[in-house]
Chain A
Amino acid sequence: MKPFEYFEPRTVGEATEILSNYGEKAQILSGGVDLIPRMQKSDIQAEYVVNIQKISGLEYIEPDEKEGITFGAMSRLRSIEVSKTIQNKYPILYEAIHQITSVQAKYMGTAVGNLCVATPASDVATSLFALGAQLKITGLKGERIEPIEKFYVDYRLTSLKRGEMVTEVVLPNPLPGTGTAFFNLVRTHADIAKISAAAAILVQNGICREVRIAIGAAAPTVFRAVKAETLFTGQKITPEVMNEAAETAAGETKPITDLRSTARYRKEMARVLVRRALEKALERATG
């Protein structure tokens, strides 16, 4: 690994100041599962490494009556996975984390770190899109809250500006009558997804009042299939409408061909997974 200068800030304020001073030459170290191997391979050249592990008050999972739940930048994937509140209120976040096989990576890695890597194949991000997550971003001049869709700009590119870091994830309370589902396809669960989809449906009297459809690994970023959502909202839920929504969602993908899948396969499977996710979300909403 190439040499770098190392910082261990004790407060978010100190961290943002260092990040602001060094801009793109600085990298945040949280769990390290992505950063350290990539620095060893020289995929990432960091002249300054800012370890945020020693900042107190960033590792928590807190229920909040109004907001649902919040967790901090240093909350490990493992803590989120085993949290009963997460399992009960946000089962798809649990499912997306649980199917990651490396227990070590989950003890080390943080959900926020996973989001900040900004890979379109993040299962955690796909489930958080469907859950309507918001990110609290802290910089030198204070905080801003951003919906997760706005955070992703392009492949491995986020909306973070110089000196900013994500400090918290806020999950809204699911409205009564909401069902959610997450599916992915993988070569093996030790690998990242070929394609993934998550859905959240709010159903009242058989009518879809609100829906979020998220697709991962089928475009430069995880994204919401907005056209399919518009088509679905306000409709009486029938197999035909679900098929049409899945077809539309697949049409919104912009997949690539790589070693895991061809673009054509990804597009076809996006349709299948969205259909499955809508069905299962509906089942959970009404069951």
Chain B
Amino acid sequence: MVKKEIVSFKINGRSYEVIVTPNMTLYELLKEQLDLTGTKRSCGVGECGSCTVLVDGNPTLACSTLAIAVRDKEILTIEGLAKGAQLHPLQQAFVDEGAIQCGFCTPGMIMMAKALLDENPQPTRQEVREGLGGNLCRCTGYVKIIDAVLAAAETMRKGGSQ
């Protein structure tokens, strides 16, 4: 028997109660149940990194994660980064450096970059390249993305907003 059940989730500091079935992915939960449309699905098979969100701080592919399996965890999506109108330094740096072309890979890039900077606040260029190794940009814009992450790291080290 496949059961539907009411499950609570903690997403971007808010609690949600949602009716889920076990076969619902975390991506489907965010997009289809909660209208958190910032997280993008590109390949849908865990190869491109577009759907990256943080689960208890760990970068996680929402398309390859069962929602029910992360019910007791802290989930952070791109919508949880800005404080009101104040962009997160990573978001601001992506804008300032022109690191966005079509924008579809951007939420995943930023969430992965956040995980990277949380762990290593002063990465080298090579460490940023390796950290974003699982995130594909098909507009071929990696140079500016890496520039943006390094710029954001500097802002954050200087105690820039957030």
A residues near B (Cβ < 8 Å) are 1-6, 8, 29, 32-33, 36-37, 39-41, 49, 51, 53, 101-105, 107-108, 189-190
30 contacts between A and B (CB under 8 A): A1-B23, A3-B2, A3-B22, A4-B22, A6-B22, A32-B65, A32-B66, A37-B44, A37-B45, A37-B64, A40-B45, A49-B22, A51-B66, A53-B69, A101-B134, A103-B116, A103-B132, A103-B133, A104-B46, A104-B52, A104-B60, A104-B134, A105-B134, A107-B58, A107-B115, A108-B65, A189-B133, A190-B133, A190-B134, A190-B136
B64 touching A36, Cβ below 8 Å: yes
Give the residues in chain A near B47, CB-CB below 8 Å. 102, 190
Interface string of B112-134 (1 = CB under 8 A from A): 10011000000000000011111
B89 close to A (CB within 8 Å): no
B140 to chain A, nearest CB (A): 14
Contacts of A51 in B (CB 8 A): 66, 69
Complex contact A105–B46 (CB within 8 A): yes
Contact (A104, B49) CB under 8 Å given A33-B61, A189-B133: yes
Q: CA–CA, A4 to B21, complex, Å?
A: 9
Residue of B nearest to A6 (CB): B22
Q: Could you say which of A3, A51, A103, A190 has the most chain B C-beta atoms within 10 Å of its C-beta? A: A103
Known: A4-B2, A107-B58, A190-B47; 13 extra A-B contacts, CB below 8 A, are: A1-B23, A3-B2, A3-B21, A4-B23, A36-B66, A49-B22, A101-B133, A101-B134, A103-B112, A103-B130, A104-B60, A105-B134, A108-B65
Assuming the contacts A3-B2, A4-B2, asked whether A108 and B49 have C-beta atoms less than 8 A apart, the reply is no
Contact A102–B134 (Cβ < 8 Å): yes
Q: Known: A53-B69, A104-B52. Contact between A33 and B112, CB under 8 A?
A: no
Contact of A2 among B23, B49, B59, B66 (CB under 8 A): B23
Q: How far is the CA of A149 from the CA of B133 in the complex (A)?
A: 31
Quote the shortest CB–CB distance from B134 to chain A (angstroms): 3
Contact A108 B64 (CB under 8 A): yes
Residues of A contacting B1 with CB < 8 Å?
5
Assembled-state Cα–Cα distance A8/B3 (Å): 14
Residues 6-37 of chain B, each 1 if its beta carbon lies under 8 Å from chain A, else 0: 00000000000000011101000000000000
Choose among A36, A39, A40 the residue with the greatest number of B CB atoms under 10 Å from its CB.
A36
Decide if B112 touches A41 in the complex (CB within 8 Å): no
Rounded to whole Å, the gap between the CB of A55 and the closest CB of chain B is: 13
Which B residues lie within 8 Å of A107 (CB)?
58-60, 115
Partner of A3, one of B23, B116, B134: B23
Known A3-B23, A4-B23, A6-B22; contact A103-B59, beta-carbon cutoff 8 A: yes
Find chain B residues with CB under 8 A from A2 CB.
Answer: 23
Measured between beta carbons, the chain B residues less than 8 angstroms from A104 are 46, 49, 52, 59-61, 112, 134
At the interface, yes or no: B81 with Cβ under 8 Å from chain A? no
Q: Which chain A residues lie closer than 8 Å to B25 at the CB level?
A: 1, 36, 40
- Residues of A within 8 Å of B69, CB to CB, are 8, 29, 32, 51, 53
CB distance from B50 to the nearest CB of A (A): 11
**Which residues of B from 106 to 162 have beta carbons under 8 Å from A?**
112, 115-116, 130-134, 136
Instruction: List chain B residues, Cβ under 8 A from A103.
Output: 59, 112, 115-116, 130-134
Closest partner residue, chain B, to A3 (CB atom): B2
Please name the residue on chain A nearest to B129 by beta carbon.
A101
Instruction: Answer whether residue B68 sits at the interface, using C-beta atoms and an 8 A cutoff.
Output: yes
Query: In the complex, which residues of chain A have a beta carbon less than 8 angstroms from the beta carbon of B22?
Result: 3-6, 49
By the criterion CB–CB under 8 Å, are A36 and B44 in contact? no
A33 to B58, CA, bound (A): 14
Most B CB atoms within 10 A — which of A2, A105, A107?
A: A107
Contact A102 B49 (CB under 8 A): yes
Contacts of B130 in A (CB 8 A): 101, 103
- Nearest CB in chain A: distance from B127 CB, A: 11
Decide: A40 near B44, CB < 8 A? Known: A33-B64, A104-B60: yes
